[in-house]
Amino acid sequence: MLGYDLYLRHRCASFALLSYKSPGVYCTPAGSRVNKTARAGRAVSLAAPPHVCYNRASTVRQTRCKESPMPPQPLLSFDFLKSQEVKFPIEVIRARNPQRYEMEHLSAIVHFDAEAQIVAGYKDVGEQEFWVRGHLPERPLLPGVVMLEALAQLCSFYQVTIQPDAPFFGFGGLDDVRFRGTVVPGDRLYLIARALDIKARRGYYQTQGLVNGKLVVEAKVLGIAF
């Protein structure tokens, strides 16, 4: 019983079935102990995991875990993104971003609004990229770290465009990262970044990635001048 209780403390599930049956519903605070008669007629005593509700009528014990918040609305609509023509092609991106070869993850810029402090582009996910063979064999999935790198390169492009004399901007940190979908070879991953705080040697951005109108990644990206 002790091992099962510890298991329940750390398992993220919506429902864990146990055998309590008394009328009514009650909730226990984290760390409290309960003594109720089980269906077998024995008294049981265990430490209640956090956020537990006992439904006595249905004999179902519900274990609630902290869940990821609902996906936010896209910073720019997918229909708008698809309707935009290329504003800055790869040649312009290469003049401002130093990444090359396997680490070049920004294909084009389709929207740039310095007044609203928002930029959008895309990465065309290729069939022969370096990660395809190993992540995963027979089912290639774009690694989350590559999605984040693509978002960071979009932020860097925006920063050096509005600050032409700025040095190279690299990763300074990530906050509130969520992966909400998969990306596979052949997909076009649309990337959006909105500046939250811009200074001479740093930038902080809210970013999102979408495929076929679905939000697949989001994060807040901190860029630091090198």
Give residue-wise pLDDT tens across range 103-136: 999 999 999 999 999 999 999 999 999 999 999 9
- Dist. CA 32–CA 147, nearest whole Å: 43
pLDDT top residue among 33 and 220: 220
Confidence of residue 226 (pLDDT cuts 50, 70, 90): confident
Residues 6+ apart with CB under 8 A from 213: 78
Per-domain residue ranges of the chain: 2-63, 78-225
- Dist. CA 153–CA 84, nearest whole Å: 20
Residue type, 150: A
% of the chain beyond a pLDDT of 70: 69
* Interval 1-45: pLDDT, tens: 444 444 444 444 433 333 333 343 333 344 444 444 344 444 443
Distance between first and last Cα of the chain:
55
- Dist. CA 85–CA 103, nearest whole Å: 24
- Dist. CA 151–CA 168, nearest whole Å: 15
Contact 81, 158 (CB under 8 A): no
pLDDT top residue among 68 and 120: 120
Which of the residues are catalytic?
A: 135
Instruction: Using the predicted structure, report yes or no on whether residue 58 has a pLDDT greater than 50.
Output: no
Instruction: Using the predicted structure, report yes or no on whether residue 203 has a pLDDT greater than 70.
Output: yes
Question: SS3 letters for the chain?
Answer: CHHHHHHHHHCCCCCEECCECCCCEEEECCCCEEEEEECCCCEEEEECCCCEEEECCCCEEEECCCCCCCCCCCCCCHHHHHHCCCCECHHHHHHHCCCCHHHCCCCEEEEEECCCCEEEEEEECCCCCCCCCCCCCCCCCCCHHHHHHHHHHHHHHHHHHHCCCCCCEEEEEEEEEEECCCCCCCCEEEEEEEEEEEECCEEEEEEEEEECCEEEEEEEEEEEEC
- Dist. CA 132–CA 128, nearest whole Å: 7
Superfamily of domain 78-225 in CATH is: Hotdog Thioesterase (3.10.129.10)
Average the pLDDT over each of 58-62, 123-127, 153-157, 207-211 and give the range with the smallest value: 58-62
Instruction: Using the predicted structure, report yes or no on whether residue 154 has a pLDDT greater than 50.
Output: yes
Confidence of residue 67 (pLDDT cuts 50, 70, 90): low
Q: What is the mean predicted confidence (pLDDT) over 178-207?
A: 97
- Dist. CA 158–CA 93, nearest whole Å: 10
Contact 56, 26 (CB under 8 A): yes
* pLDDT score for 165: 86
Instruction: Using the predicted structure, report yes or no on whether residue 191 has a pLDDT greater than 70.
Output: yes
Instruction: Using the predicted structure, report yes or no on whether residue 46 has a pLDDT greater than 90.
Output: no
* Interval 85-104: pLDDT, tens: 999 999 999 999 999 999 99
